[in-house]
Amino acid sequence: QKEVEQNSGPLSVPEGAIASLNCTYSDRGSQSFFWYRQYSGKSPELIMFIYSNGDKEDGRFTAQLNKASQYVSLLIRDSQPSDSATYLCAASPGGFKTIFGAGTRLFVKA
């Protein structure tokens, strides 16, 4: 069974702090990795994707990939209350299938 594992949280950080979200995946054939944000009662929306080992930065968000350790992370700098949501990690081996983690709930305290 191919899996993506995430800590369910909640992860609570103060406003302005760095939030660090992590996930691991079991399928070594995974090639593409995604972070989706999902507000309560809403649909997921993509915030970052990463294909290569290393870091990828986009504004306040940095995605990190380590294929040897089968580990993906998302850093959110200067966290804002509006960042409070569930963050879904996803991995795809290519083709048309994506395995999603169950998500980590993030709460940013004002």
Partner 1 sequence: NAGVTQTPKFQVLKTGQSMTLQCAQDMNHNSMYWYRQDPGMGLRLIYYSASEGTTDKGEVPNGYNVSRLNKREFSLRLESAAPSQTSVYFCASSERGADNEQFFGPGTRLTVL
Candidates 62, 64, 84, 92: give the one binding partner 1 (CB under 8 A). 92
From 14-22, 52-60, 71-79, 100-108, span contacting partner 1 (CB under 8 A): 100-108
Q: How far is CA 22 from CA 5, 34, 73, 92, 110, in A?
A: 9, 12, 4, 17, 23
Q: How far is CA 56 from CA 52, 63, 86, 110, in A?
A: 9, 5, 21, 27
> In the complex with partner 1, which residue's Cβ is closer, 17 or 61?
61
> In the complex with partner 1, which residue's Cβ is closer, 35 or 79?
35
Q: How far is CA 46 from CA 1, 28, 90, 105, 106, in A?
A: 25, 23, 10, 16, 16
From 14-22, 45-53, 56-64, 66-74, span contacting partner 1 (CB under 8 A): 45-53
Number of residues that bind partner 1 (CB under 8 A): 24
Beta-carbon contacts of 98 under 8 Å, excluding residues fewer than 6 positions away, are 34, 90, 91, 92
> In the complex with partner 1, which residue's Cβ is closer, 77 or 97?
97
Query: Taking CB under 8 A as the rule, does residue 43 contact partner 1?
Result: yes
Which residues of the chain form contacts with partner 1 (CB under 8 A)?
Answer: 4, 8, 31-32, 34, 42-46, 49, 51, 88, 90, 92, 94-98, 100-103
